[in-house]
């Protein structure tokens, strides 16, 4: 699991929806329920490109984000 600095996580947002992010494992999940995107973390660096994001199903989104 990649660790992300808490201060960095406070300022990062989803580049598509501008929603806050939740850190889970090697991913940052957008909290936007319409897009349900997750962004990879590689070598400790969040890859915040929409082209690199993956959509997640509603069940995974609810498990991680809690909505």
Q: What pLDDT, in 10s, does the model give residues 6-38?
A: 898 899 999 999 999 999 999 999 999 999 999
pLDDT of 57 over the 90 cut: yes
Residue carrying structure tokens 């850190």: 23
Q: How many C-beta neighbours within 10 Å does residue 65 have? A: 19
Q: How far is C-alpha 7 from the chain's CA centre?
A: 15
List CB contacts of 61: < 8 A, sequence separation 6 or more.
Answer: 29, 33, 36, 67
- Phi, psi at residue 8, to the nearest 5°? -65, -45
- pLDDT at res. 67: 65
Q: What pLDDT, in 10s, does the model give residues 32-56?
A: 999 999 999 998 899 999 999 999 9
pTM: 0.91
Annotated domain spans of the chain? 6-65
Residue carrying structure tokens 């995974």: 60
d(CA 51, CA 66): 25
Q: Please name the fold of domain 6-65.
A: N-terminal domain of TfIIb (2.20.25)
């Amino acid at each position: 699991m990649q660790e992300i600095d808490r201060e960095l996580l406070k300022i990062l947002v989803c580049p598509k929806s501008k929603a806050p992010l939740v850190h889970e494992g090697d991913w940052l999940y957008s909290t936007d329920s319409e897009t349900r995107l997750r962004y990879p973390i590689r070598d400790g660096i969040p890859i915040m490109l929409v082209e690199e994001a993956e959509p997640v199903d509603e069940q995974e989104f609810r498990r991680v984000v809690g909505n």
